[in-house]
Amino acid sequence: MATGPTKPASALSLLRRFGPAFLLIAGLGAVVASGALHHLSLHTLRDSRVALHAFVQAHPVQAVLAYLAVYVAAMSLSLPAALLLTLTGGFLFGPWAGGLLADLGCSSGGILVFAVCRLTVGDSLDRRASPRIKAFEDGFRKDAFAYLLTLRLIPITPFWLVNLAAGLLGAPARAFVVATLIGILPASMIYAGLGAGLDGMFDRGEPLGPHLLLAPRIVLPLVGLALLSILPIAHHWWRARRGDAASKS
With a CB cutoff of 8 Å and minimum separation 6, the contacts of 172 are 141, 144
- Does the pLDDT at position 137 exceed 60? yes
For 21, 124, 144, 145, the CA distances from 115, given in Å and listed in that order, are 10, 15, 16, 16
For the ranges 39-43, 126-130, 172-176, 183-187, the lowest mean pLDDT is seen at 126-130
Looking at residue 236, what is its pLDDT? 64
With a CB cutoff of 8 Å and minimum separation 6, the contacts of 78 are 24, 28, 113, 160, 163
Q: For residue 106, give the DSSP letter.
A: H
Rg (CA), the chain: 21
Query: 97, 240, 81, 75: which is closest to 164 by C-alpha?
Result: 75
- Does the pLDDT at position 154 exceed 80? no
Query: 83, 81, 106: which is closest to 185 by C-alpha?
Result: 106
CB-CB neighbours of 88 under 10 Å? 28
User: How far is the C-alpha of 208 from the C-alpha of 168, rounded, in Å?
Assistant: 38
Looking at residue 42, what is its pLDDT? 87
Looking at residue 53, what is its pLDDT? 95
What is the average pLDDT score of the chain? 82
For residue range 11-24, what is the model confidence (pLDDT) as tens digits? 777 778 778 889 99
With a CB cutoff of 8 Å and minimum separation 6, the contacts of 48 are none
- Does the pLDDT at position 60 exceed 90? yes
For the ranges 13-17, 26-30, 38-42, 210-214, the lowest mean pLDDT is seen at 210-214
Contact 195, 88 (CB under 8 A): yes
Residue type at position 117: C
Mean pLDDT computed over 128-135? 54
For residue range 161-197, what is the model confidence (pLDDT) as tens digits? 899 888 888 889 999 999 999 999 988 998 898 888 8
Looking at residue 147, what is its pLDDT? 83
CB-CB neighbours of 222 under 10 Å? 17
- Does the pLDDT at position 133 exceed 50? yes
